[in-house]
Structure 1
Amino acid sequence: MGDDNIIHSGGCHCKCVRWQVEAPSSVVAWSCNCSNCSMRANTHFIVPSSKFKLAAGAEQFLTTYTFGTHTAKHTFCKLCGITSFYFPRSNPDGVAVTVSCVDPGTIIHVETRYYDGKNWESSFEQSSISSFSKADNN
């Protein structure tokens, strides 16, 4: 959204899974109505994988759930169950970061866009979501 990137920190509820992500202070987040995102009310922004860093030791607390095409990797903390980030089907070269799991103070604006995950293929074709994991977009 035109801002210079800054470092955001965040993680899960119990703080066993911690990470940092480089992204603007104003982000475009996606609210999806697929069966998984809608049940979790997961609104997320997408960054290139190279801009996401998992904290040392956090991986031991992660587990992964997949369904459907098994392309998306829904990671969550084994202890508290929170999905603070995952690897989306729409952006296999990126990371989807849950907005509400970013520590307070660094995100100043969220533009929410809607993704029709119930009609995934047509929504993918009509949206610009795949561009958000490209390094030159962020």
Structure 2
Amino acid sequence: MSGDTFVLHKGGCHCGAVRFQVFAPSVLHVFDCNCSICVKKGNMHFIVPKSRFELIKGEDNIEVYTFNTHKAKHTFCKTCGVQSFYSPRSNPDGYGVAPHCLDPGTVEKIEVETVDGQNWEKFMKTSDISKYSKT
């Protein structure tokens, strides 16, 4: 398999109330961010455009948390509290998907990139993070 091979990944929250599917590479480029909320949640995610993401069930079971600029929409299951995806500030036209919330069997490998979310504005000026949400 190649890292450019796209597959249909399925996943969801812990209790199963929220389920989604996402068309993404089998080799995932995952961001490990050190911003205040990602550190508290242990959040690691990969970016996909909204066109490659489909919420299968649970829209009525999703809560949204925002803070600071209120651009990022931190979604989580109101039953179990798990955030399996969210709308990141860096890519408001995409989703950040938690690889640990994917069902087993479709991920070939995970490559991790550190993101300096504590210095987000400076990091975004020098980063090409948005290339990961292009269709």
Is the TM value for this pair above 0.5? yes
Letter in 2 for 1:7: L
1:109 and 2:109 correspond: yes
RMSD across aligned C-alpha pairs, in angstroms? Answer: 1.0
State how far apart, in whole Å, the 2-side matches of 1:3 and 1:19 are: 21
Query: Is 2:86 aligned against 1:83?
Result: no
Residue 90 (structure 1) shift:
0.2
Shift of 1:2: 4.3
What is residue 121 of structure 1 aligned with on the other side? Answer: 121
Which residue is equivalent to 2:60?
60
For residues 59-104 of structure 1, give each alpha carbon's deviation from its aligned partner in whole angstroms, at most 9, with x where no partner exists: 0110000001000000000000000000000001110000100111
List runs of 5+ in structure 2 lacking aligned partners: none
Q: How does 1:39-54 map to 2 (within 5 A)?
A: 39-54=40-55
Count of matched residue positions in the alignment of Structure 1 and Structure 2: 134
Kindly provide the amino acid, as one letter, of the partner of residue 131 in structure 2: S
- Between the two proteins, what is the percent identity of the paired residues? 53
Greater than 2 Å deviation, 4+ residue runs? none
* Partner SS, residue 55 of structure 1: strand
- What residue ranges of structure 1 are gaps of 5+ in the alignment? none
Q: Secondary structure of 2:112's partner?
A: strand
Q: Distance in 2 between matches of 1:6 and 1:99?
A: 14
Q: CA deviation at 1:117?
A: 0.5
